[in-house]
Amino acid sequence: MKHEEVNFQNEQFNLTMIPGSFARKMRTNIIWQFFRFMVINIKMLIVVSKSH
Amino acid sequence: MARLIIMGGGVAGHTTATFAKKWLGNDHEVVVVTPNSQWNWIPSNIWVGVGQMTKKDVVFPLAPVYKKAGIDFRQALATEIHPNGKADDDTPYLVISSTEEGKEGQTEELTYDYLVNATGPKLNFDATEGLGDGQGGLSGHTVSVCTADHAVHANDELQQIFEKAKAGERQKILVGTGHGMCTCQGAAFEYIFNIEHEARKANIRDMLDIKWISNESFLGDFGMGGLHMKVGGYAVSSKLFAESLYAERNVEWIIGAHTSKVEDGKIEYELLDGTMHEETFDFAMLIPPFAGVGLKAYDKDGSDMTDTLFAPNGFMKVDAKYDAGAYENWKASDWPVTYQNPTYDNIFAAGIAFAPPHLISKPMSSPNGTPINPTPPRTGMPAGIIGKAVAISICDIIKKGKDAELHKASMAHMGAACVASAGKGIFTGTAAAMTVYPVVPDFEKYPGTGRDTDYTFGEIGLAGHWIKHILHHMFIYKAKLKPAWTLIPE
């Protein structure tokens, strides 16, 4: 059984989505996360600037 | 020379005091009255609660910072407001009671020209039987991460649980809200996933049953009625993402729950359908509901006029629409704009201390009449922005006169950036980085979801953890008033 399928056996979790190995690896992939770091910071700065 | 007194030295109070002093200079007096000798960066308390930071990492002494800034610091509890002064003197004044070592309980009267209530909340543990000790503190059946000391205690207890798990003894962990009217689900959310992360690091995850309990009617409500964001070309509810994370980390949930009684190793709770249940635990962290700090107000003749200044929940009345009525009538414009008290134009409230007009989430109650819904969150960013707006308004009044236009900072026109840690580690940590715009949904302006989905987003990853870690250092740097502190936004 794939890692992401294990918890679907719990009835409470059965109707949601669980990330697969690629999505989970990308969450801590340094290069991808550095890119996301830049993107998130820009988005947050826009929201901050709209809020002052 | 005008005297501005700020009650409270948290995010809102500290922001108001430091900006007001910077703008007013030595021509006017800025006084901060707070019972705490130390400033606490509360968002990092959850890392203290899992042993990944120490208390020293999240606090610093206020006195030297205020001395450097020229702010008069009184380590004391404000107990009474006399907005009309005394029988023979119209000058309004405060009564404060010292909490300084060696001077405990000594009272003093402080006159003011302008007053800002930024006391934050009272942690109302006693609202739930057994959660509090009957004297305002924790009972000891559960732990809390609301203060740095609470978080240190929480970690001590958690490490004992981890030791038992390492010894092969299965442990049950319960984290969430300790009452049907709690807010601050985000802190509990961060704590449960940091515990889960630390348990995986310690190779004891299989020995722990971790469960969430909350007054939210759906996961991802966070007291804001949830949020919708664009992900992968879809506009989706935060419910889907929250449930996904709980399912991925094998954390079961109980939602729509009012914790009615706490005992040693057991809670009783009522669900939105009116049914009563019990849940056992070996370790529980339950957030208490918030209330106003219990300030009293008195008229010239000594008569109690607390209800003129404060709402029944103890938070201060400001320029909000408190008679909006039923949920169907609620509007974004109900929310306060200037945070000025409607009766006294020299009194303002900032941060958690102001009374919201109503909930943000849809109000709900069980068939037994028990209200079970999150109350509105007022996180660091809105608190800081409101604190700064109040400082601008008061400085303008002092410098330009009573007719100066007040600065506006409605939570219905303000966004918030929020980073919720899901585990600490420079290469292994993750956090949910979110922005919402605006905090209070405006269904007239954004009829679909109440918010602008171009500026409302969320994603989980290492980048979010880096941001949370950077914010920790950045905001402590700012609060210490180090060079160029004003360049760091709230």
B263 in any annotated domain: no
Q: Which amino acid is at B162?
A: F
Please give the Cα distance from A6 to B365 (Å, whole number): 35
pLDDT of B197 strictly over 90: yes
Average pLDDT over residues A16-41: 96
Residue of A nearest to B471 (CA): A41
Q: Do A52 and B243 touch (CB under 8 A)?
A: no
Residues B444-455 pLDDT 10s: 999 999 999 999
DSSP 8-state secondary structure symbol assigned to residue B317 = P
pTM for the complete prediction?
Answer: 0.96
**Which of B231, B237, B248 should be substituted to probe chain A, the one whose Cβ sees the most A Cβ atoms within 10 Å?**
B248
B254 in any annotated domain: no
Q: How many Cα atoms sit within 13 Å of B57 on the Cβ side?
A: 16
Residue with tokens 């008569």: B303
pLDDT of A19 strictly over 90: yes
Question: What is the domain partition of chain A in residue ranges?
Answer: 19-52
Number of domains in chain B: 1
Q: Do A43 and B462 touch (CB under 8 A)?
A: no
How far A8 CA lies from chain B's nearest CA (Å)? 8
B59 in any annotated domain: yes
Q: Do B463 and A51 touch (CB under 8 A)?
A: no
CB pairs under 8 A between A and B: 94
Contact between B127 and B291 (Cβ < 8 Å)? yes
pLDDT of B233 strictly over 90: no
Q: What is the CATH number of the domain that holds B115?
A: 3.50.50.60
Domain limits at B49? 3-123+290-400
B381: chain A residues, CB-CB within 8 Å: 48, 51
Percent residues over pLDDT 90 in chain B: 97
How far A11 CA lies from chain B's nearest CA (Å)? 10
Please give the Cα distance from B375 to B186 (Å, whole number): 12
pLDDT of B5 strictly over 90: yes
Percent residues over pLDDT 70 in chain B: 100
pLDDT of A51 strictly over 90: no
Residue of B nearest to A38 (CA): B463
When CB atoms are compared, the residue of B243, B413, B455 closest to A47 is B455
Residues B73-88 pLDDT 10s: 999 999 999 999 999 9
B445 in any annotated domain: no
When CB atoms are compared, the residue of A17, A27, A40 closest to B467 is A40
Q: Residue B149, exposed/middle/buried by CB under 10 A (0-12, 13-18, 19+)?
A: middle
Residues B166-190 pLDDT 10s: 999 999 999 999 999 999 899 999 9
Q: Do B415 and A48 touch (CB under 8 A)?
A: yes
B469 in any annotated domain: no
pLDDT of A42 strictly over 90: yes
B489: chain A residues, CB-CB within 8 Å: 48-49, 52
Please give the Cα distance from B378 to B314 (Å, whole number): 16
Q: Do A19 and B244 touch (CB under 8 A)?
A: yes
